[in-house]
Structure 1
Amino acid sequence: MTGTGAETAVAWLASVAPHPGACLREWERNPQGMALLPAGKRWDVLIVPGELGYPTLDVLTRLLDRPGPVLADFGDSRMGFFVPPGTAARWIGTGIRGVGAGAWIVVPRPGGTVGGVRWLIPPDGSGTLTDASLLELALHEAAAVRGARDGR
């Protein structure tokens, strides 16, 4: 993502920072940098083990033109799906961590190249998020396919 789309996404992410201007200046100074941003304002994040997250993302991309933002960590051991605020407080699911109000996440600048945490699907700046119900269905389908493949 480059140009205006990246700048819109950067502004959308920075808008939740305690000091949005400082966040924007830091990302301008260091486009490869990370920001620590509060969840629960414009989004929550559901953190899924990578071995389930990638098949889930495959299901979502078959169902939607564009899912909400998705992060992956170093080594692809975990993925974070951006969902509507309040989702983390209501989420019940073994092995899936909800990050919502009162918690913070490390976020790379969209459009930058960062070694550890990176965007698999960067934000588009419009506020597009993955619907939690659809994500739940995609998780179930991915788990069922994985279980069948593993002989469970």
Structure 2
Amino acid sequence: MPGAKTAAQWLASVAPDPEVCRLEWERNPLGIALLPAGRAWDVLILPSRLGHPTLDVLTRILDQPGPVLADFGDARAGFFVPPGTAARWLGTGVRTAGAGTWIVVPYPGRLSVGGIRWLVPPDGSGTLTDPALLELAMHEAAARLAGQEES
């Protein structure tokens, strides 16, 4: 993936020791590292039943949404949003990772070995998804899901 090194540097910049993070990505057979949320980004975590349709809506209206992760078993999707969002988020059914929390992050550009993976990898520039836009996309996705259930 072009820019994987730049994206990895951006992600690792939040680690207490970015060099240790890089080594962890190299040494871990799954290519994952544990990184603190709340510094350069927070993560809003949606159940995949809502997360994947929300990502579909976002990709229709944005050229490049912020990074999005899928967890083990594709049960959840995590949207990278500006720091501080988790502390202010009021939506129900959405988990948050902000200041004081850590998340598992795969190396950008490395193929997943059955675990956590990027649905939208970071581009290295710091692009994040606007939380208001994410909320609107969630509402549209939820309305579509509700309409499908009524059919």
Q: Classify the TM-score, shorter chain.
A: over 0.9
- The corresponding residue for 1:73 is 71
**Secondary structure class of the residue paired with 2:90:** coil
Deviation, 1:32, is: 4.0
- Equivalent residue for 1:148? 147
Is the 1:32–1:109 contact (alpha carbons within 8 Å) kept by the matching residues of 2? no
State the partner residue of 1:109. Answer: 107
Structure 1 spans left out of the alignment, 5+ residues: none
Q: Give 1:15-94 correspondences, 5 Å limit.
A: 15-30=13-28, 32-94=30-92
SS at match of 2:138: helix
TM-score, reference length from structure 2: 0.95
Aligned residue identity for 2:78: G
Give the corresponding residue for 2:10: 12
Segments of 5+ residues of structure 2 without an aligned counterpart are none
Aligned length: 150
Task: For residue 107 of structure 1, give the secondary structure of its aligned residue in structure 2.
Answer: strand
**Aligned residue for 1:98?**
96
1:31 to partner: Cα distance: 7.3
- Which secondary structure state, in structure 1, belongs to the residue aligned with residue 150 of structure 2? coil
Secondary structure of the corresponding residue to residue 45 of structure 2:
strand
Letter in 1 for 2:93: G
Larger mean Cα displacement after TM superposition, 19-28 or 120-129: 19-28
Q: For the residues of structure 1 that align with 2:133 and 2:44, how far apart are their CA atoms?
A: 13
Name segments (4+ residues, structure 1) moved above 6 Å.
Answer: none
Distance (Å, rounded) in 1 between the aligned partners of 2:32 and 2:24: 9
How far 1:149 sits from its partner (Å)?
1.0
Paired with 1:8 and 1:93, the residues of 2 have a C-alpha distance of 33
Separation in structure 2 between the aligned mates of residue 129 and residue 136 of structure 1, nearest angstrom: 14
Q: Pairwise CA RMSD of aligned residues? A: 1.4
